[in-house]
Amino acid sequence: MKAILIIAHHCILPGAYKGFEEILDRLHHDLPGTRVASTSLLDLENDLRTLLREDVESVTLLPYLLLNGQHTKNDVPRVVAKLQEEFPQIPITLLPCLGDWKEFSSMVVCGIRNAQLDEKKPSESLVSRLSSKTSNLFSIELNLEGRNVLVVGGGRIALRKVKTLIPTGAHITVVAPQIDPEFETLKADEPSSITLKQRPYEPLDLRCVFMVFICTDQPAVNAQVSNDARARRILVNNACDYLDGDFIVPARMDFGENIAVTVSTQGRAPSLAKKLKQKIQTEWAEDLAQIEKDFKKE
């Protein structure tokens, strides 16, 4: 079994470990079969030794620290070197401090930009978001025929976006390390309109792209794509953060040959948009079909 050991500062203030605990929960959930443990700088040596005595094949150490200072330059490597000598058969990998991760700067910039946006659009509870009367989004129906559209992410949300993009005639590229098998089925039906790239996003994926849909489960990747696209003046839809993108996708229904009805909550309550869509589909279908028939007779 592989193991991850996260090293954090010791702190006794209530609530200090909120973000840290969320990361542990997510690692437990997202990396089943990996032993996830945490320790403090003081307990590192004892805890790491205990872990190495368990049935682990490798240990990855993450210093939950921002700056590459005394702890990450000297204290932690010293313990790692000592224990690697004691347990030479178990590889120990020491990751860089968080501040040196390449996605970190994008995440910080994005967080600050969102905070500035939030100053303009205070978003408290859903109820208060919904009761705000003003809408400053502009509705259009966009022609994407022949345009290059990039979808970053290959999961459930990306799949939904691609399904709605196919009928537009756009050239769709999907890039993600994990691509849902259903994409292959879609590609088999539409070989010329879908390209699948099974690897992590790279900034060059944005070359000649008209519009990008950001749909990964990695906030740091989403922030990087958003920043890269903005620098290239590419239109952005961020499925994970409606305040970040240039546009949102409403729920769309087609009735008969000519009628399209879209429902939007301006990003504020997407699940309400879905509910309304279901209501409209069940309650309006017959009436709309009749209206279209009558219109054709006129």
Ligand X SMILES: C[C@@]1(CC(=O)O)C2=NC(=C\c3[nH]c(c(CCC(=O)O)c3CC(=O)O)Cc3[nH]c(c(CC(=O)O)c3CCC(=O)O)/C=C3\N/C(=C\2)[C@@H](CCC(=O)O)[C@]3(C)CC(=O)O)/[C@H]1CCC(=O)O
Interacting residue ranges for ligand NAD, rule: CB under 6 A: 152-158, 175-178, 200-201, 215-218, 221, 239-240, 270
Least distance from ligand NAD to the Cβ atom of residue 212, Å: 11
What does the angle CA 203 – CA 137 – CA 109 come to, to the nearest 5 degrees? 35
- 264 in contact with ligand X (CB under 6 A): yes
Least distance from ligand NAD to the Cβ atom of residue 219, Å: 8
- Reduced to 3 DSSP states, what percent helix, strand and coil does the chain have, rounded to the nearest 5? 45, 20, 40
CA distance 241 to 161: 15
Binding-residue pattern over the window 107 to 146 for ligand X, x denoting contact by CB under 6 A:
----------------------------------------
| CB nearer to ligand NAD: pick between 7 and 62 | 62
Give residue for tokens 């702190």: 11
| CB nearer to ligand NAD: pick between 170 and 215 | 215
Tokens of 61: 């150490």
- In the chain, the largest separation of any two C-alpha atoms, in whole Å, equals 88
CA distance 142 to 4: 47
| CB nearer to ligand NAD: pick between 3 and 215 | 215
101 burial (CB, 10 Å; 0-12 / 13-18 / 19+) is middle
Binding-residue pattern over the window 2 to 41 for ligand X, x denoting contact by CB under 6 A:
----------------------------------------
- Binding residues vs ligand X (CB under 6 A): 160-161, 164, 237, 239-242, 248-251, 264-265, 267-271, 273-274, 277
